[in-house]
Structure formats: C-alpha cells, structure tokens
Chains A and B, each alone.
Chain A
Amino acid sequence: MNELPIIVVSPLIAGFLAWLLRVRGIREIIGVAGSLVPLALLIKLYPSLGGRLEFTINVAGFKLGLMLSHLTWVFSMIAAVVGFTAILGMVSTARDNWEWLFALMSLTGVLGVFMAYDLVTFFISWEVMTFASFMMVLRYNRHASLKYFILSIVGAYAMLIAIGLIYAKTGTLTFPEVSAIFSQDAMTKMMGGPGLFTKTETMLIYGLFLLAFGVKAGMFPLHVWAPDAYSETNQSYTAMFSGVLSKAGVYGFILLYILMYGKLIVEFGHFRSAPTFGYIIAFLGGLTIIVGGILAALQEDIRKLFAYSSISQIGYILVGLGVGTALSIEAAIYHAISHALFKGLFFLIVATLIYRTGKTEFKDFGGLAEKMPYTFAMAFIAILSLAGIPPLVGFTSKWLIFEAVIHENLPILGGMVFFGSAIGFVYLIRFTYAVWFGQRPSDIENTKDAPLPLAIAMGILGALNVIFGVAPGLVAQELNKIFGKTIIAGNIWELDLGFGRYNGLLLTIWMTIGLLIAAIIYFMGARVRRVPVTDTYQSGNPVTMEYNLTIRRNFFLPLKEAMAFWLRISFDKLYHDIWQSIEDFAETARNYIYNGNVQAYAWYLAIILIILAAMGV
C-alpha cells in the first residue's frame, strides 16, 4: 500500500465524515485535516520523485492507476496548497455540511485528474470534480449551476467519445502506451505508410479534446458558464474552483501534448514556428484574454469581475501552451501556478468582504481600507501580482510568457498578450477604487477585519506570492525537472533565457533603495495633517457626507461606448437561444408524437410493421 491513493481519497473521506458529523467545530477540524493530508504527503513524497511512484488497482475489468511524476507533482501541489487555503477559508464561510462534503469531494476529483495514469481514472476523476462543483453551485443558484453542468457534460462526453475512439483503435488506455502508439503512428505516416488513425479521425479526436478541456478551462467561446458559476457559490470555495479546477482544463491540454504531439504535427504541420494545432489553442487563448479582460472591466459585481478576470488569465496559460516550445510550456505552467496563487488570494479576499459586509456590488462598497487593513494589505499583494508588477510572482510568469511567445516570431499573439496586461491593470484599479478607497457608506461603518481562518489562508497565499516572486528560480528549477533538462537557466534568484534575463532579488533590492530615497525626500518635507474625506476639492464648493463623491457605477462607460458594437455579440445569448430551440423542439415532439390519440399509437405500430415487412423479416 502506498501513499498515492491516500492522497487522492483522504479529502473525500474527510468530507464524508464532516457531512455525517453535524457537530460544529468537529466537522471543521476534520475537513481541514482532510485537505492537509494530501499536502503533507505530497511534500513527503517529493524526494522520491525520480523513481517510479505508481499505484494500480483492477476495478470492473479496468486497470485504474495513479502516478506521480514531476509534472503531476507540480499540479497536485497547486491543488493541495490552494485547496488547503480554500478549505481553511470555508471554516468561516461555509453554511452547512453539504458544502463540506462537496468542496472536499471536488478536491479529490481534481487530485485524481492530476495524478491519473490512464484515461479511465482521468475521466472518472473528471466527472467527480464536475459533479462536486456542480453541487456546490446548485445550492446558491439553480440556473447558473445547470448552465455549468450542461456545458461540462457536453465537454465530458466529448472527451468520452474521444477516449472511445482511442480505445477502439489502440486497445489500451494507459498514457505511456497510448502515447507510444501515437508516436509510432506519426512515424509511419512520415515514412508514407498508412497510419493507424486517418487525418479525419485525428482531427476529430483533437476537436473533441479541445471541446472537453476548453470548457473546463473557460476558453473563449466556451467560457459562458464561468462568470455565473464562479460568482454564485461560496467564495472561499471559488478560490479552489477558479484557482485549481480550471487548471484541470489546462492539464488536459498538456495531456494532449503528451499523448498526441508528434501525430498532430505530422497531420497538420506548422503555422510559422508554432504547430498548427497549438496555434489554434494559442489564438483562442489570445481571444480569451481580450474578451475576459474587457468584460471584467465592465462588471458591477466583485464576484463577476474576478470570474472574468480568471477567464482572462487562463488565456495567458493557453497562449503559452499553444506556442508549444519547451520554454513556452514551462512559462504556461509557471503562470498556472501564479494564477492559482493570486486568484486564490483574490477570491479569499472577496469571501472576506462578503462575509463581513454581506454585499457584493461595487455600488455598496467604499473606503474599507481603513476598516480592514490586513485584508487590504493582502489585496494589495494580489493586485500587484495580477497586474504584473515586479517583484511579485505574477510578473515573473507573465514575463516568461511574453518572452516565450515573442521569441517565436508570433507578432499577433504578442500584441494580444500585451493588451491583456493592460486590461488587467484596468479592471484591478476599478476594484481597488470602488471597494477600498473613497467615501465609506454609513451601513458598513462598523466592518471588522478578516476572521482568523481566512486571515491565515490569505497569509499563506500572500507569502507564497511574494516568495516565488523574489526567488523565481525556486519554481523554474522545479519546472526544468519536468523536461529533464535546463530550459530556464540561472539560480534561485535569477532566470536566464539566453535572450533575456530577470533577477528577482536584485530588482527587490533596488526597488527598496528607490523607495527609501523617495521616503527620505518625503520625510524632508513639513509635517502632514490628516483631513477627512469630505474636506476635499469640489470646484470650491463645500461637501458633506450626503454627497456621493466616489464613482461607483459604470466606471468604464467610455470603454463600453467604444466597444458598443462588439459587446452586442454575446455567446451567452447564442447558447441561450440554442438551448431555447432545443426545448421548443422537445415540446413540439411531445405534442406531435405523444398526442394522446389511441389511433395514432396504433398507426405507429402499423408503420413499424410495414418497415419490418419491407426489410423482409
């Protein structure tokens, strides 16, 4: 018996126990312990990663397997760390044992996805994850949850068809064997022989996988479920939902590379320096960045803003993956890590805000920085990290993606990622302005700072954001091991790509020096006197608290107007229309076929008999 199944199953068991024991206090302890076990075991297994860490079991005629390599360890660690902090946050925000069960179940699902050794385990874990996250949303909003569920199911069964196709041709389901068969097939094809898979079949499998993983990752135009599902649930859970569960889609794309890379290149060739199939992913990723970013800027609800922001950041990861060089994939995984860290932090902040104030819309907030200094400090770290301000981890990973993409001579993608970094700035400042600064509405005058469990969870993620930013090599060297060779050179402080260098420590030191100089100049001036918010310039007029001085609604109206044409095109509406016509069709079918007329049913029987007679039965 080894540790791998314990890692995967322990959250589920803990969730089940927490669900059974409805005792407040005990269920929290069990839940947190259940999410701590995978983290502890993954750290314990780290030294033995080089060897074979596998676990197989025969169930219902299938060999189910788990394994731990460098790649899966990195992803599992993302899941374990962010999952642990999210569960910690739930100690404050969870409403009943239902949430404990399904939150922990989805952690099991996602760990299973990352550690799966074969397509069956992968698919089962994928479904566990989808189901558990659906149940989490269901309690809050039925419409949002059904939208999420149906899109996920479409994706999941697309994947099932693809798996079926692969199994029908190859007769195996474990990753190494499938991968070996595909690369052998690619080799045969290159020699001019008849391949095992035809071009159409390869394209079909690729398309189905693209649909399956695209839905989970929130890729444009399959992103419509994310804003609703991310916002209509427990926000502590969303830290995991957006931080980790969306990474399952990303991991799926990596899996696509592992299984079919050579075959897909042989069949579809290259577009400039990127493989064509990768360029499609990257281009959709670029659109995801832009669409997610612009929509994030136009939201009036904090949860929605961060949901779209999450979509936008996933776009970066897809761009990195799509370009398809070792460096760009490493950059994408790096961004997956940093996205999990800062977006997990953001949703915990949102959870704190909602827990303390009970409000979600920008129009109800303002001036909270003085009332919640700790949460604001954490928000400050998260803002700097997401906006890509050195020396935080968000900058490092974005910088790697920029360099990796531009170095491959892909100018259009380069322009897209540049736009994404600016739009990130834009929507974060909107969040900062409306929530933390300005006038404070009188009904949130007595807001307290974050509760302890949330504060600890935020502290962990905040510290990791800073540490990985100042010492970017810690992550980079770990990622190098995935490929087994040095792709990003340098030491723990420095990244060296050959055509660009970045040193987190030196940058931090000089930033500190710069801030010191600025502070010295500041303190040379005369003393400052503190004035209230209403003691301000209002074209020379006196103002009182009755005036609303802070712009809280429609902050980016000019952007909305400049984009009016594009905003009319909505995929959300399109899917709604499609779904509506399916429902109409079902109604029509019911009216005509099940019409309640006995003679009609007799006629159906007669028609079937005629058909059978015509077939000569």
Chain B
Amino acid sequence: MLEAFLKALLIILYATFVGFMFMGIIRKVTARIHRRIGPPIYQPIIDTIKFFSKKENITHGVIYDFGIIFALGATILALMFIPLGGVSILRAYGDLILITFLLEIPMLGIMFAAMSSGNPYAGIGAQRALLTLLAIQVPLGFAIVALAEYYGTFSTYEIVMAQQIHGWSIFHLPLLLAAIAYDIVLQAMFGKEPFDIMIAPGEISLGPMVEFGGKHMGILQIQHAIGLFAETLFFSNIFLGGAVVMTFASPILNTLATLVILLIKQLAVLLIAIFISTIFPRFTIDQAARFYWKWPTIIAALGAILASL
C-alpha cells in the first residue's frame, strides 16, 4: 500500500514537472515561430511559485475553493489510470471510456468555481467551454469507438500491448482516420488556437479564469500542467504505440527507457499542436461547432465504420 502511494507520488511529481516543461516549450516554440527569443523554459514554474507566494487571496464562497481542488484532484485521478509504460498504479482499470470521462471532469470543477464567482465573463466562458465540449464529443466518441472495435478491448494497457505486436495504431487505416480526428480534438482539449474559444484571451478576458488569482490560479497552473501531460500521454498510448521496454536487464534502465520513449512521443503530439496553434486565428463558437460536426466527425465516423467491418 505504502509502495503504491510512493509510486503514485513519484508519478505525480514527474507529471507535474514534465507538464510544466511542456508549458515552457509551448511558450518557447511559439516565441521562436514569431521570431522572438521567448521566456526561459522553466518560466511556468516561476509563475506558479509567484502565484502561491501572494500575500492575500480572494474567494467567492466554498464552491469557489472546492471547484479548484476538485479540478486538480480529478486530474490526478485521471493520471493514475493512464498507463505510463510499466509504472502506472491502476492500469488494470485503465478503461478507454473511463479515462475519456476522467479527462473531462477537471473542466467541470473549473467551471463550478468560475461560475460561483458570478462574473459575467466567467459565465460566457463557461458557455463557450460547454459548447466546445459538446462539439468535440462527437468526433472524440467515434475515435474511441473505432479503437475499441478494432482491438476488441477497452483496456488501454492491452491496446498498448497489442500495438507492441501489430505495430502502432496509426499504421492501420481505420485507426489512422480516428487518430487524425482525435488530434484535431486535442487542439480543443489543450485549449489552443484555433479552438481556444473557452479562454479566448483578448476577446473575453480569459473567460472562466477571469476571477482567479493567487493560489487559485497557481493550482490551475498545476492542473493545466498535469492535464497536458495526461492528454498527450493518453494519445501516445492509444495511437502511437505507447512504450513497454524490456530489452535491458535492469528494471530501472527499462523504466527510464520507457519514459524517454514516451516523452519523445508526447513531445511530437505537443509540437503538432503548437505548430497549428501559432498560425491559425481563433474560430467563433458556432464556427467551431459546425467544424467539429463536419470534417472530424466524418473522418472519425468513417474510421469507426471501417474498424467495425
């Protein structure tokens, strides 16, 4: 029991650190694309420390605090279920549907907190976030259906193991289509342009985040970091073959190699998202809904139908 708990703590620390690095990479790469130098890669960590060292924080009530805690707690919970090579805690229960749901829950917490502040910008942000969620759910659903039907199992770990034998998912046509749709969905899950409608800096003053400051914002930074890590990890696991390295004799070396391979795959997913986000302007919410219900849905549905034949 204690061992499992320590392992979980290590995973959380690793995920938080890598997540913060990802956030730094996003800022750095975006800056380089704009021909700027950009902040140092550890900038998000400094930001977060600063948020926590504010002398005074404000609150609008119990839900305002609890929503934030709920968001971070749910993100940590989601992380526990996603296989991280051979390390993860609950990978036996790492069910595709469960993880898909768990990755959405943090949004609920953030919105509860944001709405309890009573700010109209938060309200409009919540509305946009919900409609984005509704829009991405259709292609996302078809992509998950395609995966489950192709492999005949819902266990993420078993899907990773199957890819060790049969090659990565994206090399099979139905799953390639699903992966394309899922990648377009990821753009909205990360909250990156052209689908960062829920936050929309410059348009609606950060939407749900508008009222948060101090430690609330700090916790949301940590949540965002772990969320980025979890979402990229999930994509790498189900579409890019995950990683289970067993070549070395020492288990520690194996684990390290696994983590390195996974990290490279996660970075690849992240970089695609950054490249897209830096060159596309934002959609409006109804454009986003129509877009997601058209092309990604058609692609993913085609994948799902091909996978079920």
Task: State the A residues within 8 Å of B (CB).
Answer: 272, 367, 369-370, 387-390, 395, 399, 402-403, 406-407, 409-412, 414-415, 417-419, 421-423, 425-426, 429-430, 432-433, 436-439, 499-503, 506-507, 510-511, 513-519, 521-522, 524-531, 533, 535-539, 549-551, 555-556, 558-559, 561-562
Report the minimal beta-carbon distance from B7 to chain A, rounded to whole angstroms: 12
Having A513-B8, A525-B215, A551-B123, one finds 17 other A-B pairs with CB under 8 Å, namely A369-B63, A407-B154, A411-B307, A412-B301, A432-B112, A438-B115, A510-B90, A514-B73, A514-B74, A517-B76, A518-B70, A519-B73, A521-B218, A526-B54, A529-B56, A531-B58, A539-B205
What are 7 A-to-B residue pairs whose CB atoms are below 8 Å?
Answer: A390-B101, A395-B101, A429-B126, A438-B116, A521-B222, A527-B56, A529-B58
Residue B211 lies at the interface, judged by CB distance under 8 Å to chain A: yes
Question: Would A537 and B121 count as touching, CB distance under 8 A?
Answer: yes
A538 to B155: give the CA distance in the assembly, Å.
Answer: 47
Stretch in contact with the other chain, from B18-26, B134-142, B242-250? B134-142
If A521-B72, A529-B57 touch, does A551 touch B127 (CB 8 Å cutoff)? yes
Q: When A and B form their complex, which 10 residue pairs have the shortest distance between CB atoms, in order from nearest? A: A418-B141, A525-B215, A422-B137, A500-B154, A514-B76, A411-B304, A515-B73, A518-B72, A514-B73, A414-B145
Stretch in contact with the other chain, from B28-36, B261-269, B285-293? B285-293
CB nearest to A512 among chain B residues: B73
Stretch in contact with the other chain, from B38-46, B103-111, B186-194, B271-279? B103-111
Partner of A514, one of B72, B304, B305: B72
- When distances are taken between beta carbons in the complex, the residues of chain B under 8 Å from A529 are 56-59
Q: How many residues of B contact A (CB 8 A)?
A: 89
Residue B98 lies at the interface, judged by CB distance under 8 Å to chain A: yes
- When distances are taken between beta carbons in the complex, the residues of chain A under 8 Å from B68 are 518, 522
Q: Summarize A's interface: helix, strand, loop or mixed.
A: helix
Question: Would B118 and A415 count as touching, CB distance under 8 A?
Answer: no
Give per-residue flags for B67-80: 1 if the beta carbon is below 8 A from chain A beta carbons, else 0: 01111111111001
Question: Would A419 and B138 count as touching, CB distance under 8 A?
Answer: yes
A417 to B55: give the CA distance in the assembly, Å.
Answer: 47
Count of chain A to chain B residue pairs whose CB atoms are closer than 8 Å in the complex:
249
Q: Which of A367, A411, A412 neighbours the largest number of chain B CB atoms within 10 Å of its CB? A: A411
Q: Summarize B's interface: helix, strand, loop or mixed.
A: helix
A370 to B58: give the CA distance in the assembly, Å.
Answer: 17
CB nearest to A387 among chain B residues: B108
CB nearest to B8 among chain A residues: A513
Residue B184 lies at the interface, judged by CB distance under 8 Å to chain A: no
Question: Would B152 and A411 count as touching, CB distance under 8 A?
Answer: no
CB nearest to B287 among chain A residues: A562
Residue B219 lies at the interface, judged by CB distance under 8 Å to chain A: yes
Question: Would A528 and B65 count as touching, CB distance under 8 A?
Answer: yes
CB nearest to B145 among chain A residues: A414
A410 to B145: give the CA distance in the assembly, Å.
Answer: 9
Partner of A518, one of B63, B76, B154, B290: B76
Give per-residue flags for B145-183: 1 if the beta carbon is below 8 A from chain A beta carbons, else 0: 110110011110000000000000000000000000000
Question: Would B145 and A426 count as touching, CB distance under 8 A?
Answer: no
Question: Would B115 and A432 count as touching, CB distance under 8 A?
Answer: yes
- When distances are taken between beta carbons in the complex, the residues of chain B under 8 Å from A535 are 58
Report the minimal beta-carbon distance from A152 to chain B, rounded to whole angstroms: 33
If A406-B148, A433-B126, A562-B286 touch, does A411 touch B308 (CB 8 Å cutoff)? yes
A519 to B75: give the CA distance in the assembly, Å.
Answer: 13
Residue B281 lies at the interface, judged by CB distance under 8 Å to chain A: no
Report the minimal beta-carbon distance from B58 to chain A, rounded to whole angstroms: 5
Question: Would A418 and B116 count as touching, CB distance under 8 A?
Answer: no
Report the minimal beta-carbon distance from B202 to chain A, rounded to whole angstroms: 13
- When distances are taken between beta carbons in the complex, the residues of chain B under 8 Å from A412 are 301, 305
Question: Would B54 and A411 count as touching, CB distance under 8 A?
Answer: no
Question: Would A522 and B154 count as touching, CB distance under 8 A?
Answer: no
Question: Would A426 and B130 count as touching, CB distance under 8 A?
Answer: yes
B:46-104 near A, CB below 8 Å: 52-61, 63, 65, 68-77, 80, 89-90, 92-93, 95-98, 101-102, 104
Residue B257 lies at the interface, judged by CB distance under 8 Å to chain A: no
Partner of A389, one of B101, B115, B124: B101
A515 to B74: give the CA distance in the assembly, Å.
Answer: 7
Question: Would B140 and A418 count as touching, CB distance under 8 A?
Answer: yes
- When distances are taken between beta carbons in the complex, the residues of chain B under 8 Å from A436 are 116
CB nearest to A537 among chain B residues: B210
Question: Would A367 and B118 count as touching, CB distance under 8 A?
Answer: yes
Report the minimal beta-carbon distance from A322 to chain B, rounded to whole angstroms: 17
Partner of A414, one of B58, B90, B142: B142
A548 to B219: give the CA distance in the assembly, Å.
Answer: 30
Question: Would A511 and B73 count as touching, CB distance under 8 A?
Answer: yes
Question: Would A555 and B92 count as touching, CB distance under 8 A?
Answer: no
Residue B238 lies at the interface, judged by CB distance under 8 Å to chain A: no
A608 to B35: give the CA distance in the assembly, Å.
Answer: 98
Partner of A422, one of B12, B134, B152, B285: B134
